[in-house]
Chain A
Amino acid sequence: MRHIIVLVRKDLKHFVRDRAALLLTFLVPFALIALFGFIFGLYGSHGGPAGINVGVVDASGSPDGARLVAALKAEPAFNVITDEPGPNGTRTPLAEKDLDRLIRADRFRFALVLPPDFSSGDNIGLHVKLVENPQNNIETQMVTGLLQKTLFTSAPRLIGAHLQSLARRELGSDRLDRFDRRMAQTVASAFGGDEQQIYAHIRDGAMGWTAPAEAGAGGAGGTSDFMSRILKIDTVKVAGKGLSDRTATATQLVGGWAIQFLLFAVAASAVSLFYEKDHGIFQRLLAGSCPRSAILCSKFIYGMLIGLLQLLVLFIAGHFLFGIHLLPYVPALVLMCLGAAAACSAFGMLLASVAGSQDAARGLSTLAILTMSAIGGAWMPISLLPAAVQQVSKLTLVYWSMEGFGKVLWLHAALAELLVPFGILAGMTALILAISWWRFNRSTIFD
C-alpha cells in the first residue's frame, strides 16, 4: 500500500505542477461548458436558437400580411429582414426577385414570401412561399419548423379574417354585418359576455383566439389559440418541477459534457504510462521493491481522484452558470461521480493496455471517447438514435453515468435508488480492470 500512496502522491504533484493539465482538466471544460450553454441558448430569456436571419417579402400588402410579419418579428429565433440598403442611405423593401441574389450572398439562408394572394384567394387558407439554401440539413429542419410554428400560430386569426373577406364578397357588407351582429347576439345570450366585444372579434376574424403577438413571444403563451381549442392538453411534470427551462436543459446536458471531458482527462493520464515506460522509470521502480500491481493501482486511483474532482468541479460550474440544484443532493452526486470516475479511470487503463504506444493510445482514445459519447447519450438524447444503437449504448459507461446523474439531479433519487447505475458502473470498472490487468501482463509495457 505504501508504494501505491507514494506513486499517487507523485502523480498528484505532477498534475498540480503541470499547468497545461490543470487547464485542460478544469478551466477548458469550464469554458466549454459555458460555450455549450451559449450554443444551447441557456443564457437568454428563452431556450433555443436566436437571431437567425430570415428574409421576408410581403407582396400581399394586406393587413393580414403585416400581422404575420409582426408575428415573425416577435419570434426570438428570427432576425426578420424586410428591406435592404438602397441609394442615398434609403431602405428598399425586399422583392422576390432579390432573394436568389441575397441568399447566394449569404445575407440570409431562408426567406418567406407572402404572395399577393397570400390570404385573399378563392380557397380557404393561406398561401406562402419558402425560399431556402438548405446548406445544413439540421439548420433547415429547425428553421422550417420554427417558421411553421409561427405560421400555424398566426393562421387561425388570419384564416378567420380571410373567411370574413370571402363572406363579404359573396354576401355583401350589409348582409355580412347583419349576420355578424346576429351571431354576436346569439353567442352573448347563450354563453354570456359583452355583445359588442364579441361582434368586434367576429368582424376582425378573431373569433375568441388571441394573436400571437398579443399572447407573447413565439406564441408560447397562446393558450387560447385555435389549435388548443380543438385539442386541449394538460401537461403534468413528474420531474423538473419548478425549474426554469434553462436550468432543466442544463441539468440534463451538463452530465454528458462532464463525462466526456473526464474521459479525455483520464485517457491523457493513462497515456503517461508510456512516458514512464519509455524513460526507464518502470525499470527503476520494478528493479526496486515496487510491484507491477502497485504501479497500475496507483494510476487507477490517481485517475479516479482526478476524475472525481473534475466531475464535481464541472457540476459546481453548472450550479453557478446555469442554476443546477446541487446542495440537497451532494451525497448522491458524490456517489455517482465516484462510480463514473472509477469507470472512466478503468477505461483509461484499458486504453493503455491495448495500445502499443503513446500515439496509438491517443488515437484510440479519441475514437473510443467520441463514439462512446455519441452513442451513450452525452451529446443528444439516445431516443434520437436508431433502435439498435440505443441497445448498444447500454454497454457504455457514458450511458450509465448519464443515467446516474439524471437520477440524482433530475429525479432526485435517494441513495438506494442509485444501486442499479452505480452497481453497473462498479461492475464495469471491475471487468475493465480485469481485462486491463490481463492485457498488461501480455503486453510489453513493463519490459
Chain B
Amino acid sequence: MSLLNVTSVTVRYGALTALADIDLTIDAGEFFGLLGPNGAGKSTLMSTIAGLRRPNEGAVAIDGRSAGDPAARAALGLVPQGLALYPDLTAQENLEIFGALQGLGGAELRERVAELLKAVQLEDRRHDVVKSYSGGMKRRLNLAAGLLHRPKLLLCDEPTVGVDPQSRNAIFELLERLNAGGMTIIYSTHYMEEASRLCSRIGIIDHGRMLALGSLDGLLGEAREVTILQRPSLEAKFLELTGRALRE
C-alpha cells in the first residue's frame, strides 16, 4: 500500500526548472534512498513532499491527503539538513518546544521526550545547552526532534553530515529500528555506503529528473563494470548516470 504518491511534479524557480515531471511512489514501511549531486533537486523534492513548496504542476499526496493538509503534516516528520535546534536551550527544552508545537502536552510530552532522549543516548546531557554539544550529539538530537509526534513518514535530509563514526552508527541503528517498527523513511544523502546499508530502494536524481529508480540489487545489476575496482558498485552507477564533472 503506497504512503507517498508524487505524480508528475514540476517545480520552477523563475526560468530554472528544479524538478521536471517527477513520478515517485513509496510504500508504507519502505526505506527509500534519494541520491543526487549538489543542485540535483533533492532538497526541492524533499520540501515539496513536506508541503513547504507548492509544485507548479502535478501533485503530492501523503497517506491519501494532499501535501500541506493538516493531516498530511501530522503524518510527516522532517529532519532538516541544518541543525534546526535552539542552541541556547537544553536538549530537553528543545524537544519540549518542538513537541508542544506538534500538539503534545503534559505527561505525554514528558514521556515522549524522555523516550527519545534515551533513544538518541542523550539522557545524561538532557539539561545541557545544545551549543555545548559535539556535532554528533547535535545530529542525534536533530533526528529526535523530527520523531516527537511519531510520524508515519520521516524525511531525513543528509542527517549524518559532519558526524563521527560512532554517532553515525547510532543514527543508522535508530533509523533501522524505526523502519523495522513500520516507519517509512526517505533518506537523502551523498554517501553511497549509507544508501547501500540502509535503503531498500533508491532513486538517483539529477538536473531535476529522476534518472534511475529501483532496488539496490537492481541498480547494481545495471551498473557497467567501469570502475577502478573493476566490480559493480552504487558509486559507479551514480557516476555513470550523473557524470564526473564537479558540481558547485
Residues on A facing B (Cβ under 8 Å): 2-3, 6-7, 9-10, 13-14, 17-18, 278-281, 283-290, 446-447
Contact = CB atoms under 8 A, between A and B. Distances in A.
Given A17-B129, A280-B80, A285 B101 contact: yes
Nearest to A284: B84
A2 B102 CA distance: 10
B113 to A, nearest CB: 14
Contact of A13 (B93, B149, B155): B93
Nearest to A3: B101
A447 B74 contact: no
Q: List 5 tightest A-B contacts by C-beta distance, closest first.
A: A280-B80, A280-B82, A280-B84, A287-B78, A287-B50
Contact of B81 (A2, A280, A447): A280
Contacts of B93: 13
9 contacts: A10-B89, A284-B84, A286-B51, A287-B76, A288-B73, A288-B98, A289-B102, A289-B103, A446-B52
Contacts of A279: 80, 82-85
Contacts of B129: 17
Nearest to B80: A280
B190 interface: no
Contacts of A285: 101
B98 A284 contact: yes
A286 B82 CA distance: 15
A278 B81 CA distance: 10
Contacts of A284: 78, 80, 84, 98, 145-146
Contact of A286 (B52, B83, B98, B102): B52
A287 B51 contact: yes
Given A283-B52, A287-B52, A6 B88 contact: no
Nearest to A11: B86
Contacts of B47: 283, 447
B139 to A, nearest CB: 12
B24 interface: no
A441 to B, nearest CB: 13
B100 interface: yes
B197 to A, nearest CB: 25
Interface residues of B, number: 31
B97 interface: yes
A13 B90 CA distance: 10
B127 interface: no
A287 B223 CA distance: 36
Nearest to B76: A287
Interface centre among A17, A284, A447 (most CB of B within 10 A): A284
A303 to B, nearest CB: 17
B224 interface: no
A92 B51 CA distance: 87
Contacts of A280: 80-84
A189 B81 CA distance: 102
B52 A6 contact: no
B106 interface: no
A288 B50 CA distance: 9
B53 interface: yes
B181 interface: no
A5 B76 CA distance: 23
B102 A288 contact: yes
A7 B97 CA distance: 8
Contacts of B89: 10, 13-14, 17
B84 A18 contact: no
A279 B149 CA distance: 21
A291 to B, nearest CB: 10
A248 to B, nearest CB: 42
A283 B85 CA distance: 11
B70 interface: yes
B50 A283 contact: yes
A17 B88 contact: yes
B176 to A, nearest CB: 23
Nearest to B70: A289
Contact of A288 (B53, B81, B85, B101): B101
